[in-house]
Amino acid sequence: MNSPFSVEQAHNSSGFLLWQVTALWQRQIASALRPYGLTQVQFVLLASTLWLSQSESNITQIRLAKHAKLDIMMTSQVLRTLERKGWLTREPHPTDSRAKIITLTEQGIALARVAIPVVEQIDQDFFASQTLSQHEFNHALQQLIIQGE
């Protein structure tokens, strides 16, 4: 019987290795965010809103979903949860009746400012053992993102 696999060893599969790295990294992030009452997706949307708000006004759910590379429906669901928790508001767009403007509340800003350094430290520690410079590593990841879009 022919094997459906293109590799003889699982550790030779780039996709499987990426899955394993992602699972290990996400486990660490989830553990660190638990005391703040945040999931990783919630954190990404809070941090992304804070990031985008530094240079943009009227951040829409669609803009946020594209920035985070998340499904628009999932983004909408998670934003509703963050709104219920009092960490952001979703208001009608002034010129597009279909769009919602996302704005962090003071509580949301404070939470993001506390959680971001925690996650960044995990990233720094987790990826420290790989041998590329941070610039080279990030460039390689960016190329995979571009390829996947």
- Cα 122 to Cα 27, 55, 64: the distances in Å are 11, 26, 23
Q: Can you tell me the distance from the alpha carbon of 47 to that of 73, in angstroms, rounded to the nearest whole number?
A: 19
**What is the CATH number that goes with domain 14-128?**
1.10.10.10
pLDDT at 148 over 90: no
| pLDDT confidence of residue 129 | 86
Domain ranges for the chain, please list them.
14-128
What are the DSSP E strand ranges found in 78-145? 88-92, 100-104
| pLDDT confidence of residue 47 | 98
pLDDT in tens, 27-38: 999 999 999 999
What are the DSSP E strand ranges found in 10-134? 88-92, 100-104
pLDDT, the chain, mean: 92
pLDDT in tens, 64-109: 999 999 999 999 999 999 999 999 999 998 888 888 999 999 999 9
| pLDDT confidence of residue 17 | 85
